[in-house]
Amino acid sequence: MPRRLELIEGSQTECLQRVQCLLPAAGVVFWLTGSAIKKAHTLLGQECDALVFDAHSGFDVNTFAAVSGTLRGGGTLFLLIPPLDEWAAFPDPDYQRFLPYPYTPEQVEGRFLRRLVWLLARRSGFSPTTLLFDEKAVGLKPNLQQAVIQTILQSEVPVVLTADRGRGKSAALGMAASQLQASGKRVLLTAPSRATVVSVFKHADNPPLFFAPDELLQTLPAGDVLLVDEAAAIPVPLLLKMLEHYPRCVFSTTLHGYEGSGRGFALRFQKQLDALAPDWMAVRLQQPIRWAENDPLEHFINQALLLDAESAVVPFDYAQGTNYHCLNRDELTQNEPLLRQLFGLLITAHYQTRPSDLRQMLDAPDISIHVLEQSGLIVAVALLSREGGLDAELTAAIHAGTRRPHGHPIPQTLTFHAKIPTAAELICERVMRIAVHPDRQNHGWGAHLLEHLLGFATRSGADYVGVSYAMTPELLRFWERAGFVLARVGFRQDTASGSRSVVQVKALSARAHALFKGLEQ
C-alpha cells in the first residue's frame, strides 16, 4: 500500500492536540518534536506505522528525509506546520543552523519554504487534513535482495552496489558479511564513520571488523573481503589503495539520499575501475523494502528536496562560448527546471551535497549564486558567502580567543589561527562551492568562472576572496595558479579523506594586500 502525507496546520499546541485524534489505534508511532528531532538518528534502521514530524520545532530537512524512510507501506507521515499561507514567514528555529552573526531568523526571506508551500498546495487540494496522496502504487516485485547477497558471496572481482534509500543495501551487506564469515572468510568493513554502518551491524549475526578508512590503510589488517559502505564519501585515491591491497572488494553507496549522492562517485570511480579491474561487477537494488514501488511519498520528498536532481546533458561543443550570470534567488526559486539543473550539478560534483544545502543556498542572506551557461544549460556553478566586516571590538575578542560568533569561518581563522589581528574587520567573499559539469572539466572553465567571481567580489567591495578545502595536489595547483596564497594548513587529517584542510586567500584591496603581505612572500 502507498504511504501518505497529511498536513496538520495551526499553532504548535493545536497541531499536537489534533494529531492525537488521527493516529492509528494500533501500531508503532515515532514522534519527532522538540528535542527529539536532534535524536532522530537513533530511529534509523527501525520501522513505524505512523510518523509525526513537528516543523514548529525546526524543519530540519536532512532529518525529515532520513526519518521518512522508517515509515512502512500504508503508513502516514503527519507533518505539523504553521498555517500553510503563513509558513514561509515563520521564523524557523532551523535557520540558526546556517545564519551567520548578526542575522536572526526573522530576517530570512523563506524562499525554501515558499517553494515547498507551492509544491504542497499544488498537490494537496484545499482541505488542510486531506491526505495528499491516494493514488495506487505498483505492488512489490519478487525480492532481489537475496540475488545481490549471492553476488557478493560468489564474486571474486570487485562489486559496486548502488541503491536509493530504503532498498535494503545495508541489510544486504550485513547478511552477506555474516554468511561470508560463517564460511571461514575474514570480512573487514569500512565507512566514513561508524554511525553510517549501524544498519549493517544490525543485520549481521556474525559482524565484520570495522576500521575507519585512514586506520584501515595505515594498518592494512588481514582480510579476505573488504566491504566499503557509503563509498561515495571516501576520496577515489583512497578507494584505489584499498582495492590494491584487497582485490575482493564491495563498494556500496547511496544514489539519492539525505546523506549525500553517489552519482558523482559513479562518474569518478568507475572510470578508474575500468582500468584497474575491467571485469568488475555492478549491481543495483531497485526494489523498496518497506514500501511499494512508485511510492508517492518518496516521489514527493525526492521532488521537494531535490534528492533526484541531475545536471543537464550538455552537447559536446567546446568551441561555443559561455555566458556568466549572478542568479536572482527569488527568480531561481520560481524556476523549477533551472533549480533542479543547478542543484543536480552540485550533487554530481560533491558527494556531501544534502537537502540542508538546498535550503541554505536559497535562504542564507550571505550567499550569492554564480553560473556559466551555454545554450541555456548550466555548465559551471559557484556559491559565494560574504563574511567578515566585523567591528573592531568583536575582532579583538576573536583574536584573543574569547568570542566565536556563528559563521565567518575564514575571517575568524585568519584572525585567531593565522594571528592576523584585524583580519575579521575586512570583508571576505568565501568560495563555498565551485563545480564544473563532468563533460566540461579540464577545459579551463573552472578558472574562467573564478575570474568572474573575483570581478564580482571586487565590484561588491570585498577586500579579499578566500577558500577552504581538503587539500590535494590538483586543488592546490588550481588555486595557486589563480593567485591564492596559503593562510593556514590544518594540523589534523580528515579520517575519511586522509587530507588536511587548508585556507587560501587572494587580496583584492590595498588594505588586504598590506595585511596579507607576510602570506604573499
Give the three cell numbers for residue 27.
501500531
Q: How far is CA 42 from CA 37, 47, 63, in A?
A: 10, 12, 11
Q: Between β-strands 4-9 and 29-32, what pairing exists: parallel, antiparallel or unpaired? A: unpaired
Amino acid at 1: M
The reply to whether 334 sits in an annotated binding site is no
The reply to whether 145 sits in an annotated binding site is yes
15 class by beta-carbon count within 10 Å (0-12 exposed, 13-18 middle, 19+ buried): buried
Write down the residue that cell numbers 595536489 correspond to: 473
Q: Which residues, in sequence order, are bridge partners of residue 486? A: 504
The reply to whether 3 sits in an annotated binding site is no
Query: Which phi and psi angles does 118 have, rounded to 5°?
Result: -60, -45
Burial per residue of 287-318, b for 16 or more beta-carbon CB atoms within 10 angstroms, e otherwise? bbbbbbeebbbbebbbebbbbbbbbbebeeee
Q: Which residues, in sequence order, are bridge partners of residue 54? A: 80
The reply to whether 481 sits in an annotated binding site is yes
Q: 61-68 and 355-363 helices cross at what angle (nearest 10)?
A: 150
Write down the residue that cell numbers 589581528 correspond to: 421
Q: Between β-strands 48-54 and 29-32, what pairing exists: parallel, antiparallel or unpaired? A: parallel
Q: Is the CB of residue 456 less than 8 Å from the CB of residue 383?
A: no
DSSP 42-55: GGTT--EEEEEEEG
Integer Cα distance of 369 and 73 in angstroms: 39
Q: Is the CB of residue 426 less than 8 Å from the CB of residue 405?
A: no
The reply to whether 290 sits in an annotated binding site is yes
Integer Cα distance of 316 and 330 in angstroms: 31
The reply to whether 374 sits in an annotated binding site is no
Integer Cα distance of 237 and 250 in angstroms: 16
Q: Between β-strands 209-211 and 187-190, what pairing exists: parallel, antiparallel or unpaired? A: parallel
Task: Enumerate the known binding-site residues for ATP.
Answer: 145, 290
Task: Enumerate the known binding-site residues.
Answer: 145, 290, 434-436, 474, 481
Task: Enumerate the known binding-site residues for acetyl-CoA.
Answer: 434-436, 474, 481
